[in-house]
Structure 1
Amino acid sequence: MRGARTAVVLGAIGPALALNPLDTFYPPTLNDTSYISNTSIGTYGGIYKAPTNGPTEGTPYGTYDYCSMPHPRTNEYELPEPIAKGSVKGKLVYLEYLQRHQRRSPYNILPGGENQAYECDNVRTYLYAGPSSNNGIQPIPMYAQTYQDPTNPFTPGVNGTCQYPQITIGGVQDGFQHGKDLWAVYGKKLGLIPDAPNSRVWFRSSDSALTQGSAGAVLRGVWPKYDGALPLHQMVSSVDTVNEGYSCGAIDTTLAELEATSEWKAHLTVTADLRSKLGSMLGATSSSWQDTFDHFSDNFQARLCNGYDLPCSTSNSSACVTMEMAEEVFRAGDWEWNYYWRTNAYVKKYIQVVEGLFISEIVTRLQTVLDGNSSLDYSHTFIHDGDIGPILGALGINVLRWPAMASNIAFEIWETEGKKDLYARVLYSGQPIQTIHGSLEWLSLSSLIDILTPYVPEDITSLCG
């Protein structure tokens, strides 16, 4: 955030780097595999540790924080430069807010087993259904309580009381603070979010319990005294336009094409020794663990972001993943995400087939604001890293580190006095996003629509084959 740009020394294994918070989002060498192998980079100022309980807050605020990314917050929030300097007067008339879910337990359990138990009995995931009418049957609120029965011969590979993945207590607490901060900026300060939900607000999530649980925590932070239920819109999972819900053969074929390139193979060569060591230590030798860094990154991030240690072998307690190993895994993960959504030769098509339909929905909402026909003031969608990444790619972000927990994109639409022209500002995790089009600090709404439109497929059914 611009209010926190004083250069500071941010921790890393090896020589310390003098970086300000904004720098940590845009490593200049990320396009090259040297970013992965350069141990002096450490985490390039990124934060990858958090206690079990939140809310977390990276120091200094505004730093790339994998456990809980920064977001608009009153202490650092600044008005768009033309309004702040008084060259124009205007007001915020629309907010399109997208965010990844909050921190969680891992998707990927180590094949050799986990040497630590994961405990989640300090958070309740509620599961119940009731009629739409208040006069109907009102169910007992039920929550899932995970347990293991000693008579069950099958084990999940890890002891404890978590599902995998599952939002953790720290994730719930982070979400509540996230919502409180959004209200302070966009409700109290700017007067856009209403005092209570009304017909001009709209919420959506994927069909994942992670995004649904995050929505409940965040929106409680926005409206702590609201007494009632809210609709969280979801598409039928088989045709969902987020989280790769719909079937499209071109997603897999395009992914195969980009992973057959010399650049992709070069990054596997650079990391061959690391992948071999981790595979042998943790029993993770299958292609799903060795062909990308998705699984290792996910497992290590979830541990560190919830107060756990890095893993050790279950057969040799002295064989443990070091922080230097984890940092190389995280740098490799950053490189892969940047390659997926920014630098590979097939990137436009890949964004179109994975996220083009959802980008179309965003463009449509922005166009209705431009046309003066919008029925909404505030739209908030709870999604995944696999949705945030391609949207940032479509915006032309200069370089892309892995979109971390609760990473967020705020499309702010401002109307000027007099001519009532419409301008946009796009914030990524609270800061104006830096792109190949320049900083998206202040541009006409029509220009923003023009940036996104090429990533909307003209005929998705033909493109998907």
Structure 2
Amino acid sequence: MFFSLRFLSLLFFVLKWQALAASVTSQTRPIPSPLSPLDSAHGVYSGSQTPTVFPWNTYNYCNAPHVNAAHYTLPPTKDVELVYMNVMIRHHKRTPDNLYPDENSLNPPAGWDCKDFLQFNFGSLASNTAENAQTYHETNIPSNHPFLSQIWNGTCDEGQLTAAGLEDSMQHGKDFASVYINKLKFLKGVDAIDVYVRTSTEDRTYQVAGALLYGMDETLSKKQFKIDSLVPSYSCPNADNIRDQYQSVPAWTDHLVQNQELQTRLSTLTGVLGMSAWSSWYDHFFDTFTSRTCHGHPLPCNATGACVSSADAVKVFGIGDFEYNYIWKAAQNASTYNSLTFGVMFQELADNFKSFKEGHETFKLRFYVGHDGSMIRLASGLNIQGPLRWPALGSEFVWRTQNQAYFVRVMHEGTPAVGLEWVSLDDFISLLESNAPEDIFEQCLGSS
């Protein structure tokens, strides 16, 4: 994981005093009919398209609302120009990261089919990038595999990006371009001179990055674009101890007791009864349920015919939100846990903005693609208002800054973040640095 990352997406901007012309393009989205019992104004879990009966920026776990020209609002201060940005998003739709002990029996006979998604992976010599066959890999699960009961039928790997996730990524890039290329004229297109991209080491994050770039500028299909990789994680035993402590008190344990009947029923149905990875929190159930519902797969049904109900799934989604908010925001010492496990990333972001302020930044846009763990830490560290929810797929933060008297505007899930609509660059850098301990190595690995 990317610093234990599963990502939300953030966007930062730098603005300069100068008039901006406003132009809005219309967007239409098809509406699923009838509405799924999984969907409500509180959240959508049935697919990438948010039903039009709900506001456009309704929480959609399968495809988070993000910046787009149809709903973009200019800053309240007049005569400003965007001059610098950092962006962070979570990757888009994937297969489950967690498997049941008897996974095969809990999936539809067709299994997970990824034949419509080619995962290219090849190397070339820097001296001649045309040298090498362009190979791609496909998962093949033989029907007579001795461990078939523990995996699924089909051609998908565990946790891999799907064709639907790739399509959502391309559309995300188009929506991004509709604002920052077409509307604000911040970028003329996408090139390695102006745009720097960084991902985790997971295949799905750099595949999403490539689709985003292509969505922003289709001429990139004829070009090469370097994507840097973030080191995926670092050891921090003292942070682990902090989290263990605040997950051993009633504020946490009470919710496990209160939902014991649900836990027992789901564990029995899916064959995980007695397994601590599934009973200590609802992360695994949340993952396996949402991966299915977002792709139109039925919720798990076992060999006896017992199935997870939509009502139980919705309850799990709510518990997942509670757990993420508690672990990364509400718990005592959650802020310390965040700063220790994500402080390296906060420092990198702070260094980006300091470099811009000092005139040393060489890029106009720095774009990060990661995971939900990154996004929840970022949201907590930026003091996003209200209870935090599980970072949706494609979740987004955007930052921007202004010239002369520098200000930062933070966008979260397509709209200005409350309290961060217009803050001085110096204050914003201070906020980032407050989440980055100077002695993080010692605090993580030392004896204290």
Q: Above 0.5 in TM-score? A: yes
Q: The residue matched to 2:209 in structure 1 has which SS?
A: helix
Per the TM alignment, residue 193 of structure 1 is displaced from its structure 2 partner at its CA by 2.2
2:101 pairs with 1:80:
no
Per the TM alignment, residue 262 of structure 1 is displaced from its structure 2 partner at its CA by 1.6
* 1:94 corresponds to: 84
2:285 pairs with 1:305:
no
TM-superposition CA deviations, 1:238-272 (whole Å, max 9, x none): xx2xx5x1122123212211211220011111211
Asked whether the equivalents of residues 50 and 58 of structure 2 are also in contact (C-alpha less than 8 Å), the reply is: no
Could you tell me which amino acid in structure 2 is paired with residue 326 of structure 1?
A
Q: The residue matched to 2:161 in structure 1 has which SS?
A: coil
In the aligned structure 1, how far is the partner of 2:57 from the partner of 2:127? 44
- With normalisation by structure 1, the TM-score equals 0.83
Per the TM alignment, residue 322 of structure 1 is displaced from its structure 2 partner at its CA by 0.5
Could you tell me which amino acid in structure 2 is paired with residue 189 of structure 1?
K
* 1:369 corresponds to: 356
* 1:19 corresponds to: none
Asked whether the equivalents of residues 401 and 409 of structure 2 are also in contact (C-alpha less than 8 Å), the reply is: yes
* 1:452 corresponds to: 432
Asked whether the equivalents of residues 104 and 302 of structure 1 are also in contact (C-alpha less than 8 Å), the reply is: yes
Asked whether the equivalents of residues 204 and 380 of structure 1 are also in contact (C-alpha less than 8 Å), the reply is: yes
Per the TM alignment, residue 109 of structure 1 is displaced from its structure 2 partner at its CA by 1.5
Deviates more, 1:288-297 or 1:149-158: 149-158
Q: The residue matched to 1:369 in structure 2 has which SS?
A: helix
Q: The residue matched to 1:165 in structure 2 has which SS?
A: coil
Could you tell me which amino acid in structure 1 is paired with residue 441 of structure 2?
T
Gaps of 5+ in 2: 1-23, 27-34
* 1:217 corresponds to: 211
Asked whether the equivalents of residues 143 and 153 of structure 2 are also in contact (C-alpha less than 8 Å), the reply is: no
Asked whether the equivalents of residues 192 and 226 of structure 2 are also in contact (C-alpha less than 8 Å), the reply is: no
Per the TM alignment, residue 284 of structure 1 is displaced from its structure 2 partner at its CA by 1.6
Per the TM alignment, residue 44 of structure 1 is displaced from its structure 2 partner at its CA by 5.7
Per the TM alignment, residue 341 of structure 1 is displaced from its structure 2 partner at its CA by 1.5
In the aligned structure 2, how far is the partner of 1:251 from the partner of 1:141? 43
TM-superposition CA deviations, 1:118-158 (whole Å, max 9, x none): 11111111111111223x66211111111123453122421
Equivalent runs, 1:395-434 vs 2, <5 Å: 395-398=382-385, 399-415=387-403, 420-434=404-418
* 1:172 corresponds to: 166
Per the TM alignment, residue 433 of structure 1 is displaced from its structure 2 partner at its CA by 1.6
Per the TM alignment, residue 12 of structure 1 is displaced from its structure 2 partner at its CA by 8.9
Question: Structure 2 vs 1, CA of residues 165 and 433 (structure 1 numbering), >3 Å: closer, same or farther?
Answer: same
Q: The residue matched to 2:402 in structure 1 has which SS?
A: strand
Q: The residue matched to 1:281 in structure 2 has which SS?
A: helix
Aligned counterpart in structure 2 of residue 122 of structure 1, from 77, 100, 116? 116
Asked whether the equivalents of residues 43 and 330 of structure 1 are also in contact (C-alpha less than 8 Å), the reply is: no
In the aligned structure 2, how far is the partner of 1:273 from the partner of 1:99? 36
2:317 pairs with 1:337:
no
Could you tell me which amino acid in structure 1 is paired with residue 74 of structure 2?
L
Asked whether the equivalents of residues 397 and 433 of structure 1 are also in contact (C-alpha less than 8 Å), the reply is: yes
Q: The residue matched to 2:145 in structure 1 has which SS?
A: coil
In the aligned structure 2, how far is the partner of 1:306 from the partner of 1:386? 22
Per the TM alignment, residue 63 of structure 1 is displaced from its structure 2 partner at its CA by 1.0
Per the TM alignment, residue 184 of structure 1 is displaced from its structure 2 partner at its CA by 1.3
Q: The residue matched to 1:297 in structure 2 has which SS?
A: helix
Asked whether the equivalents of residues 192 and 378 of structure 1 are also in contact (C-alpha less than 8 Å), the reply is: no
* 2:100 corresponds to: 110
Q: The residue matched to 2:262 in structure 1 has which SS?
A: helix
Equivalent runs, 1:347-362 vs 2, <5 Å: 347-362=334-349
Asked whether the equivalents of residues 43 and 331 of structure 1 are also in contact (C-alpha less than 8 Å), the reply is: no
2:226 pairs with 1:231:
yes
In the aligned structure 1, how far is the partner of 2:37 from the partner of 2:223? 49
Per the TM alignment, residue 200 of structure 1 is displaced from its structure 2 partner at its CA by 2.5
Q: The residue matched to 2:434 in structure 1 has which SS?
A: helix
Per the TM alignment, residue 79 of structure 1 is displaced from its structure 2 partner at its CA by 0.7
* 1:264 corresponds to: 252
Q: The residue matched to 1:413 in structure 2 has which SS?
A: strand
Per the TM alignment, residue 343 of structure 1 is displaced from its structure 2 partner at its CA by 0.7
Deviates more, 1:347-356 or 1:251-260: 251-260
Per the TM alignment, residue 43 of structure 1 is displaced from its structure 2 partner at its CA by 5.8
Question: Structure 2 vs 1, CA of residues 196 and 407 (structure 1 numbering), >3 Å: closer, same or farther?
Answer: closer
* 2:441 corresponds to: 461
* 2:365 corresponds to: 378
TM-superposition CA deviations, 1:250-297 (whole Å, max 9, x none): 232122112112200111112111101000111122000010110000
Q: The residue matched to 1:95 in structure 2 has which SS?
A: strand
* 1:147 corresponds to: 140
* 2:32 corresponds to: none
In the aligned structure 1, how far is the partner of 2:37 from the partner of 2:217? 42
Per the TM alignment, residue 58 of structure 1 is displaced from its structure 2 partner at its CA by 5.1
> Which portions of structure 1, spanning 4 or more consecutive aligned residues, are displaced by more than 4 angstroms?
11-14
Aligned counterpart in structure 1 of residue 379 of structure 2, from 381, 385, 392? 392
TM-superposition CA deviations, 1:18-43 (whole Å, max 9, x none): xxxxxxxxxxxxxxxxxxxxxxxx86
Could you tell me which amino acid in structure 2 is paired with residue 70 of structure 1?
P
Equivalent runs, 1:14-93 vs 2, <5 Å: 45-50=42-47, 56-57=49-50, 59=52, 60-83=55-78, 89-93=79-83
- With normalisation by structure 2, the TM-score equals 0.86
Q: The residue matched to 2:366 in structure 1 has which SS?
A: strand
* 1:34 corresponds to: none
Q: The residue matched to 2:198 in structure 1 has which SS?
A: strand
* Sequence identity percentage: 31
In the aligned structure 2, how far is the partner of 1:452 from the partner of 1:220? 30
Aligned counterpart in structure 1 of residue 265 of structure 2, from 277, 281, 292? 277
In the aligned structure 2, how far is the partner of 1:95 from the partner of 1:58? 31
Could you tell me which amino acid in structure 2 is paired with residue 284 of structure 1?
V
Asked whether the equivalents of residues 56 and 174 of structure 1 are also in contact (C-alpha less than 8 Å), the reply is: no
Question: Structure 2 vs 1, CA of residues 303 and 342 (structure 1 numbering), >3 Å: closer, same or farther?
Answer: same
Q: The residue matched to 1:455 in structure 2 has which SS?
A: coil
Asked whether the equivalents of residues 58 and 65 of structure 1 are also in contact (C-alpha less than 8 Å), the reply is: no
Q: The residue matched to 1:412 in structure 2 has which SS?
A: strand
Could you tell me which amino acid in structure 1 is paired with residue 86 of structure 2?
E
* 1:7 corresponds to: none
In the aligned structure 2, how far is the partner of 1:357 from the partner of 1:392? 15
Question: Structure 2 vs 1, CA of residues 128 and 279 (structure 1 numbering), >3 Å: closer, same or farther?
Answer: same
CA-based RMSD: 2.0
Q: The residue matched to 1:221 in structure 2 has which SS?
A: helix
Per the TM alignment, residue 299 of structure 1 is displaced from its structure 2 partner at its CA by 0.2
Q: The residue matched to 2:214 in structure 1 has which SS?
A: helix
Asked whether the equivalents of residues 46 and 295 of structure 2 are also in contact (C-alpha less than 8 Å), the reply is: yes
* 1:193 corresponds to: 187
